[in-house]
Chain A
């Protein structure tokens, strides 16, 4: 088993460190406060064209027909991109590390799976012409039943909304990511009190101050300069190469300056079509979300539902925890499957509980796709677990500080996902927090330690 080694750096003394507790000037901050900072949208290009998406007004519908003639007749129209123009029109971001199935269309083909999904990209001389041309595209839809709730989506009679035929992301042929540790039923039987509760969290939009976008400029040597504010420059370069069927050495990604991301700019979205547009028109193409698209189309934090059932002794020891979680990844799985795995590894929270059971689901619905956001998978679960801890404390009449401290994990404990805990510090952090806010812990709790 992998063990992290504790390494000493004798040349480093406390006196040789200067960052913690000291103000450090942010690199490049002069540019921030003088307007000199150059963000993606601040680069100027001769002959820049503008890309606007035609978007679905329906949550789930068959595309019966699409008539581009009105757009084509609009002054300033250059060309449209539809599904047939995308060389590899089905991806999943984690295909780069061999994780599938691929499920996401870059441009909708035959079916739209969420309100706002793009069916055609309109490239025009000005943003206004692109907006006008996009408004003249006529699409005939046949509406299909839609599903938005994670548990509804997993019912036998739910409409299947994915290309791979299941409304859940398959984890090695299982319908969820599972943790089995000890015997929870046995634990419940031994418990004095059972505490059961459901927790729901809503999706959250990152709202970066700078909207997501890309400008792609074809160069005279047959390459493409891709100016992007993505948070995942190399990741998206590799995916762009695949989607556009352009070898990676022809894609020169320029980025690293992001006007706020918070996880919302990890997915490639605008890059693929800006590159394809530049490839097919020979002109620089700008594809930036409008603020409305940023709010309504871009990835969100996934909404989650948790059911937690705990078996607790009267003294506060938790002897069994069963957790069933559902993450709503929306119409396409971007990185939520990974968040769910992180969440599963986090069960049962920073506590040592002898009997643990978890079923963590990544569920497809007809919502806008969700993805990364600040600790995703763990943050929402901590909301549920820590709320549950407070409810337990109240129910059995044990001080919530005590409840957490006596159940806290310690170095050497085996975690539910079979990793030995090391470098744990929950006990010390709680003790320090109590001291910092003037809460006097009883002596037996002050004496606890995370390590032997």
Chain B
């Protein structure tokens, strides 16, 4: 019979996660429906909402967002206004009251497009300890080993410009076709975070000064196609790979236009 465990610290959580048939839930918005329908597929539910990770801390200009912070928590924090567009793009109000930052990172949700563009760091705990590194590198890492994203950090000292756009079949509460975050630092360097253009979130360099000199989707297409050539976008009930590829520069252009 399926067990439900609520570990009180990260080490215990990782231990439980290493067991056969373990499934992790935080907000539960992505996987608890599946667990409830077919519990025989799992042996233990590891509830990670009691690890003390639902907090937002400030240190200088660096804001550390605990992985259990919800989309609603982000929207309630005026210091995180940069992320509000992306947080609001996730589901509807009830979903945002449950969906966590950590879950969005693990499942590659819309928020990640913004976080990647902003050059966020993540803190990841594994059995051998915690490490901090760029979020972009997290998606290159070994997902098979038990690991917990515990925190994501944004350096707000880096002044610059930012835009976000989610392209979906409906305005609200829809899975994205493509989501794009575009950030330009004071030197004019542009980072574009994209969800929906590959089996995983990706970040690519954009044309320098793009936020000051917006380009149309048609103008952006060549460079973006080249930068994303190694990836095959997913095809699912929301969009085909071809449509996603076609819409990527549209989402970027709209993110820039604001």
Contacts and interface: CB of A to CB of B under 8 A. Distances in A.
B37 A132 contact: no
A132 B38 CA distance: 7
Interface string B14-48: 00000000000000000000000111100000000
A135 B38 contact: yes
Contacts of B37: 127-128, 131, 290
Nearest to B33: A291
Nearest to A128: B39
Nearest to A131: B38
A451 B31 CA distance: 63
Interface in A155-206: none
Contacts of B40: 128, 131-132, 135
Among A128, A132, A290, the most chain B Cβ lie within 10 Å of the Cβ of A128
A131 B37 CA distance: 8
Contacts of A131: 37-38, 40
Contacts of A135: 38, 40
A176 B130 CA distance: 70
Interface in B97-113: none
A131 B40 CA distance: 8
Nearest to B40: A132
A50 to B, nearest CB: 12
A135 B41 CA distance: 10
A290 B38 CA distance: 12
Interface string A412-430: 0000000000000000000
A39 B37 CA distance: 21
B88 to A, nearest CB: 25
Interface residues of B, number: 4
A290 B34 CA distance: 12
B240 to A, nearest CB: 13
Interface in B109-132: none
Interface in A270-305: 290
Nearest to B2: A128
Interface in A85-141: 127-128, 131-132, 135
A97 B39 CA distance: 45
A128 B40 CA distance: 8
A131 B33 CA distance: 14
A132 B37 CA distance: 10
Contacts of A128: 37-40
Nearest to A126: B39
Interface string B35-66: 00111100000000000000000000000000
Nearest to B38: A131
A128 B37 CA distance: 6
A328 B246 CA distance: 30
Nearest to A127: B37
Contacts of A127: 37
B164 to A, nearest CB: 30
A290 B36 CA distance: 12
B123 to A, nearest CB: 36
B172 to A, nearest CB: 17
Contacts of B38: 128, 131-132, 135
Nearest to A295: B237
Contacts of B39: 128
A414 B19 CA distance: 76
B169 to A, nearest CB: 14
Interface string B183-213: 0000000000000000000000000000000
B239 to A, nearest CB: 15
A355 B205 CA distance: 63
A296 to B, nearest CB: 10
B7 to A, nearest CB: 25
Interface string B202-246: 000000000000000000000000000000000000000000000
A126 to B, nearest CB: 10
Nearest to B39: A128
Interface string A227-255: 00000000000000000000000000000
A300 B247 CA distance: 29
A129 to B, nearest CB: 8
A101 to B, nearest CB: 34
A128 B39 CA distance: 7
A144 B40 CA distance: 32
A135 to B, nearest CB: 7
B97 to A, nearest CB: 21
A85 B250 CA distance: 56
Contacts of A290: 37
A191 B39 CA distance: 68
A173 to B, nearest CB: 41
Nearest to A136: B40
A290 B37 CA distance: 9
A290 B40 CA distance: 17
A127 B38 CA distance: 9
A442 to B, nearest CB: 40
A166 B34 CA distance: 41
A221 B37 CA distance: 35
A132 B40 CA distance: 6
A202 to B, nearest CB: 13
B21 to A, nearest CB: 13
B64 to A, nearest CB: 38
A447 B173 CA distance: 49
A222 to B, nearest CB: 35
Nearest to A290: B37
A389 B73 CA distance: 54
Interface in B67-107: none
B44 to A, nearest CB: 16
B59 to A, nearest CB: 45
A206 to B, nearest CB: 16
A135 B40 CA distance: 10
Interface of B: 37-40
13 contacts: A127-B37, A128-B37, A128-B38, A128-B39, A128-B40, A131-B37, A131-B38, A131-B40, A132-B38, A132-B40, A135-B38, A135-B40, A290-B37
Given A131-B38, A132-B38, A132-B40, 4 more contacts: A128-B39, A128-B40, A131-B37, A135-B38
The 8 closest A-B pairs by CB, nearest first: A132-B40, A131-B38, A128-B39, A131-B37, A128-B40, A290-B37, A131-B40, A135-B40
